[in-house]
Structure 1
Amino acid sequence: MAPRPRKKGNHGLPPNLYPNGRAYRYRRPDTGTWHGMGTNKQEAIKAAKILNAELAAPGDLVAGVLGTQCTMGQFLDSYEADVLPHRDLAKATLDLYAVRIRQIRAALGEAPVDQITIRHVARFLDGLTARASNQARALLVDVFAHAIAKGLCQDNPAAATMARIEKKQRKRHTVEGIAAIRAKAEPWLQNAIDLALVTAQRREDILNMKFEDVRDGALYVVQSKTKRHTDAGWLRLPLTPALQEIIARCRDNIASPYLIHRKPDRKVKKDGHWTKVDNRYLTRAFKAARDDAKCYAHLSEEEMPGFHELRATSLHLYKKAGKDGQAIAGHASGKMTRNYEADHDDVVWKEAIADLDISKIRG
């Protein structure tokens, strides 16, 4: 469809530049805001042409209009369907990718892949926080690498951008702070907090723990983030009194296969059972209890530690108590080899002792 012809009074002016009495004004195509351009017609035209070149969306280019190239949105469909499923990524990682892909679609989805420039990518990344920007950049670098391999473009504009420096903002939990949060938490969240402290496991691994994983006098944990890479991802935690007491508390009147579970308002089957708590709900519930406890009122919202920081606190407390936090965390050394191979099903479990004393936190 041909563009709408300009009015007689605008004849000879580039797109987005309009007369305003004796002066001229420019309407930004991306925001719709108006900007005065002075009374000199030639200077206004020159500035408008520069602004049009800077602000034009990549999808507005001729080839994009003709539909002769694959758009970023179309290629992301292929990337999600053909690339990501074969990487055996943890659900939490896939959820994060889904968020970043939605952001990329919104900013660059209509643009032909081979017409996205470094400036387009940089402008998109600049609108995100440092952490989100670096995550989106890493994903875009991989997306463009696959696009190059398919012959859809020749360059990787994302790789030419600079990663941003991420300043660690979240502070570490204090024993007093965790105790105050735990006091405001529902029983299932208290169990999750205690498991996080005693086992030093990640949020997703805690939520994936099942009663059937308790056998032969131990809790068996397959760490979702590392199980495909090192022996440290397969842990056998003997049932110490501290661990056994938490597991006993997890057995309540709600029939659930998961240690950490709750009865939702509506039965919606997800990830295997309707009682399962998902990552986002746990994060929100912990934040609500933390805000209710008002234990970190002196910190900004960005500095307040969340559920994720319980793992770091646990490892710190293990070290302070003179115990081996490295083993229970599942941190791998350079000498560790893969425990799981495509033709090898005999798992060797790495044993670690989960016996942190959290009596001061429980009260």
Structure 2
Amino acid sequence: MTVRVGTRGSALALTQTGHVADALRAVAGLGEADVELVTVRTDGDRLTGSLASLGGAGVFVAALREAVLDGRCDVAVHSLKDIPTAEAPGLTVAAVPPREDPRDVLCAAEGRTLDDLPEGAKVGTGSPRRAAQLLATRPDLQVVDIRGNVGTRLGRVPGLGDGPGDLDAVVLAAAGLRRLGLLDGTGGVPLEPAVMTPAPGQGALAVECRTDDADLRAALELLEDRTTRLAVTAERVVLADLEAGCAAPLGALGSVIGDHLHLDVVVLRPDGTDQIRTSAAVPLPPDPADQHEAALALGQDVARRMLAAGASELGGLGGAHRS
């Protein structure tokens, strides 16, 4: 039986889905023709406007999920940061493969760094999280709301692509640039998490299938990376417990260092004038089930601390559409 893997049609989505398909062929002993990519157009690809106005990053996910549930596809590959925190009945994230670099990258004309940008420089991003952190470091910047695929956004910077070249820089995810083989060619400068904390789940993929497809779930589970799953679990618990969404200026980054799971979270005022940061860590017990519970507990603890420190008022949380 051919395994049909659903994907969005962008160059990035096709590339990262292709990597998952190749990995599935390798671990399951499947031939080239045994795994087929099926392109599904989502509302996020079809509609214009900011993600917040469209209902959040979940607009990139819904059509793929429908395709799996109605049998047009057997598997869907998502950017994990796009998946809503609420469970999807009938579906299971069977695998979270190893994470790519979760950091953001500043792609600027002549390879400038954030500190090197001229006074009042125009920097493009469609992310309130990135905008707030840019302004927290450089309040003089003009942040311009942009959307589009990676090539379109790079084209807004002189010398980085075919486009108007009307911005001084754009901020993009390192993972997408690396998967497309563009990171070195753009002269992009990675922004360290202390300056630009990534979105929860950034750089990770989610491989989703029907819950009742036991044989396929077992094959997909061979793609799982335990440390990535633990990190993103803690990050997404914070996202859910703070009732944050794509319109919320929130960053979260988990990491396994030695036998501890660490979690760093920031919530900012949208204009970057104030922020709350919290960091915590827990030891990881030997049993995988207990490790999962530890990741959940860490996320819940950090969320409680953030709320106690006033995060809901600062970042406008608690009523944002979850994404």
Identify whether the pair has TM-score above 0.5, normalized to the shorter chain.
no
Which structure has more relative contact order (CA 8 Å, sep 6+)? It is: 2
Higher Rg of the two aligned structures = 1
Higher strand share: 2
TM-score range, shorter chain: under 0.3
TM-score scaled by length of structure 2: 0.27
**TM-score scaled to structure 1, two decimals?**
0.25
Higher helix share: 1
